[in-house]
Structure 1
Amino acid sequence: MRKKMMFASDLDQTLIYSQRSFMNENLQETILPVEWFENRYISYMTANSISKLKQLSREVLFIPVTTRTKIQYQRINFAEYDIFFDYAVTSNGGTIFHKGIEDQEWSRQVSAACKNCLEAADLIQRFNEIRHPSWVHPDSGKMADNLFYYCLVERDMIPVVDLAAFKLWAKEKNWELSIQGRKLYLVPNSVNKKTAVQYIKGKEGIDCSLAAGDSLLDLDMLNTADFAVAPAHGELHSLRLQKLLDLERIHFTRQHGIKAGEEILDYVADSMSKDLVV
C-alpha cells in the first residue's frame, strides 16, 4: 500500500532566495521570480527548482512552513507556476492556513500554550537593556502577528558575550533566540514549526514526513521528520561546522546558495522513492 507522505519546508534561504544569495554566482540557468514587493521582485527560484517543486506538490502533501508573518507570506506567488497546496504554516508555526482559511482551533492551542512563557513585554524590556544603536537598527523591532519579536541587526557588531548571556536567560523563560541573516528573532517555545507540522500530520493521517530548513527555528521540525535536509549555508550549517550541535541525522547539501534549493528537492524526491510503500 502506498504511504501517505508530507513534505514540510522552510521558504527563505531554503526554497526561495533573495538576489543577494546568488548575485555573485556564475549561474548557467534561468532564475524566476516568486515574490513581488514595493514594485520589484525580491525572491527567486531556479527554473529547475520550480519544475521539481511543481512535480512534488502533486505527489505529496507539500506544506510551506515559514517564520514570515501572514502578510509577508502572502507576497509569495507559487500559483503563477501551477504550484498549489492545501496547507501553509506562517508566523513560525503560530498560524496554520487550510485552503486559505486560518485554522482557529490551532490558534486557540497556541494561545493557551503561550501562557507558559514569559510575557513578551517583559522579555523585550530585558532585551532593551543590552540593545544599542551600534548593532540594532534604531527603527527596527516589532511583534510579528502578536506572537514573536524581531529586529534588524549588524551581525559584525553584536556584543557576543552579552547576547549569549541574554539567550541563556531567555531560554529559561521559554523563549528561543535565533539570528538569520540580518534579523534577530525572539520566539516563545510554544510558537514553533514542529508542533504545527505535527498537528497537520495528525489531521491528515500522514505515514511519512520529510522536512527542509536552514535555521535553528527549523531544527525541531527537522529532528522529528523521517527524512530531513538542510542547505550548506545558514545558521544550522554554521553550527555544524563549529560542531556545536549534533546534526548527524540531517542531510546537508553539497551546494550552497540558490542551487542548494534544487539539491534539497532532489533529495526529497529520492527519499520518497526509497520509502514509498508501507
Structure 2
Amino acid sequence: MKKKIMFASDLDQTLIYSQRSFINENLQETIHPVEWFEDRYISYMTSTSIRQLKQLSTELLFIPVTTRTKIQYQRINFSDYGIFFDYAVTSNGGTIFHNTIEDQEWRKQVSAGCKNCLESEDLIQRFNEIRHPSWVHPGSGKMADDLFYYCLVERDKIPVLELAAFKLWAKDNNWELSIQGRKLYLVPNSVNKKAAVQYIKAKEGIDCSLAAGDSLLDLDMLNTADFAVAPAHGELHSLRLQKLLDVERIHFTRQHGIKAGEEILDYVAGSMSKGLVV
C-alpha cells in the first residue's frame, strides 16, 4: 500500500531562480524560463530540475507554497513543461488555490486569525517612525492581497539596532518581520505557510510530508514536515552559519544558486526511495 506523500516547496530562490543566481556560471544551454514579466523572462529552472519536478509531480502531491501575491504567482508557468498540480499556496499562506479556485473556507480561517494581531495600519505607522529614504526605497511599501506588508530596502544601510527593537515589538503584537533579498516583509502570525500546508495535509489525508524553503517565513513549514531541505543560500543558511538558529532537523544542500534547486529535488526523490513509499 502506498503512503500519501506531499511535497510543499517555496518557489523563489528554492525551486525557481532569477538570472543573478547563475549569471557567472556556464549554464545558459541548460536554463529554461518559467516566468515572463514586463516583456522579459525573469525566473528560471535548469532542464534537470524541470525533469525532476515533472516526474515527482506524478508520484506525490506537489504544492507550490510562496510569499508571492496571487497576481505575482500567476506569472509562473509550469504547465508548458508538463508540470501540473492540484493545490497552490500564495500570499505567504493567506490564500489556497484548489484546482485554480480559491478555497473560501481557508480564507475565512485566516481572516478570523488576523483579529488577534495588531491592525496593519497601526503596525505600518510604527514602522514609518524608523523608516528612512537612506535604507527604504522612497515610494516603496504596500499591502499584499490585504494580508501583509512589504517594501524594498538597502540591506547594508539598515539601522540594525532600531530594526531589531521594532522586530521584537512587532512580535509582541503577533507580527513577524523577515528580510529576503531586497524585500522586507511584515506578516501577521495567522498568515503563514505552515498553517496552510497543515490544512491541505489534513484535507487530503497525507501520511508523510516533505518541505523545502530558504527563509524565516518557511521555517515553521520546514520544522513540521517529516523531511525538510533548504538551499545553501538565503536567510536560513545565513542564520545557520551565524549559529543564530537551531536547524538540526533541516538538511542543507551542498550547492548554492540555481544548482541547489536540483539538489533539493534529488533529496526529495532520494527520501522517497529510502522507504517513504511502502
**TM-score bucket (shorter structure):** over 0.9
Distance, in Å, in 2 between the alignment partners of 1:268 and 1:36 is: 27
Asked if 1:254 corresponds to 2:246, the answer is: no
Partner of 1:131: 131
Distance, in Å, in 1 between the alignment partners of 2:236 and 2:25 is: 22
SS in 2 for 1:184: strand
User: What TM-score do you get using the length of structure 1 for normalisation?
Assistant: 0.99
Partner of 1:140: 140
Matched to 2:37, the amino acid is: F
Distance, in Å, in 2 between the alignment partners of 1:188 and 1:154 is: 23
Matched to 2:104, the amino acid is: Q
User: What TM-score do you get using the length of structure 2 for normalisation?
Assistant: 0.99
Matched to 1:115, the amino acid is: K
Partner of 1:215: 215
Post-superposition offset of 1:29: 5.1
SS in 1 for 2:75: coil
Asked if 1:170 corresponds to 2:166, the answer is: no
Q: 1:37 to 1:113 in 2, by over 3 A?
A: same
RMSD: 0.8
Asked if 1:274 corresponds to 2:274, the answer is: yes
User: Superposed, which structure 2 residues align to 1:1-278 within 5 Å?
Assistant: 1-27=1-27, 30-278=30-278
Post-superposition offset of 1:22: 1.1
The Cα offsets for residues 202-256 of structure 1, whole Å up to 9 and x where unpaired, read as 0000000000000000000000000000000000000000000100110000000
Distance, in Å, in 2 between the alignment partners of 1:275 and 1:110 is: 35
Identity of aligned residues (%): 88
Post-superposition offset of 1:277: 3.7
Distance, in Å, in 2 between the alignment partners of 1:55 and 1:5 is: 14
Matched to 2:233, the amino acid is: H
Which consecutive residues of structure 1, in runs of 5 or more, have no partner in the other structure?
none
Which consecutive residues of structure 2, in runs of 5 or more, have no partner in the other structure?
none
SS in 2 for 1:116: coil
Distance, in Å, in 1 between the alignment partners of 2:2 and 2:277 is: 5
Post-superposition offset of 1:273: 1.4
Matched to 1:68, the amino acid is: R
